Amino acid sequence: MNGPVVSSSMSAAITDQEFALFQRLIYKIAGISLSDAKKVLLVGRLSRRLKHYNFATFSQYYRMLATGQHPEELQVMVDLLTTNETYFFREPRHFEFLRDEIIRPRRNSTPFRVWSAACSTGEEVYTLAMLLAECMPHAPWEVVGSDISTQVLAKAAAGHYPLERNEGIPPDYLTRYCFKGVRSHSGTFLITPDLKRRTSFYQINLTQPVDPEIGDFEVIFLRNVMIYFDMETKRKVVGNLLPRLKSGGHLIIGHSETLNGIQQGLESVRATIYRKP
């Protein structure tokens, strides 16, 4: 058996039994399968919360969370343990497919709605918004972003990024849809208000049934989140999303992911792209 993992500040250690408690807790809340390799990450991210409450052990912190008396702290834990790596125009072939195979042939005048179902800090949402603004300048459209983490959603809604994050944005898009920060915002850029007005953000746990009030979508992006789920959770997530996808709509997952065994009636269009009949 492995010994306890100690944080870099040497302020707290976690036993295998304690880590197993947090593995079960984050799985129950968010459906995330936290591998044993993530033990150091958990210690590094949660040690500050132990300090905040003057707890000497992870067991004390876990007991506080498990009572359900501090739901706000449960959200803090989820925010700290969910991985949020994203950038503008990530996996560009998906955006090319959206432009060339979905938007350009479209003859329908109804509002075109796209859902970024694990949007993290919003780069994917604004990438989609830039693309739709270019391809549908005179048509109604909307991009919805959602995530389980309130912390990253706040950043997404602000649309305010460090300047080095603009890598991947085409120069003409950067000129049209982003403002370079000045004075106190030097070294950053902001998404233009006109673009932000066509976006909205919601906290959604994809392992739970989705509120129908969010509406229906022509396209749902569910990229680079399924890798954290086991097969049962993947099946549940896809089942929760499909009622919100219109007939003829497309579900797009990450290039390192697959729906093999859990397509639930979806037709494979090409690798990582599926269509609802």
* Tokens found for residue 195: 């673009």
Q: Which of 45, 99, 165, 176 is catalytic?
A: 45
Active site residue 211: no
Q: How crowded is the C-beta side of 195, counted as CA atoms within 13 Å? A: 27
Active site residue 45: yes
* Amino acid sitting at position 130: M
Q: Which of 49, 113, 147, 223 is catalytic?
A: 147
- The residues carrying an active-site annotation are 45, 147
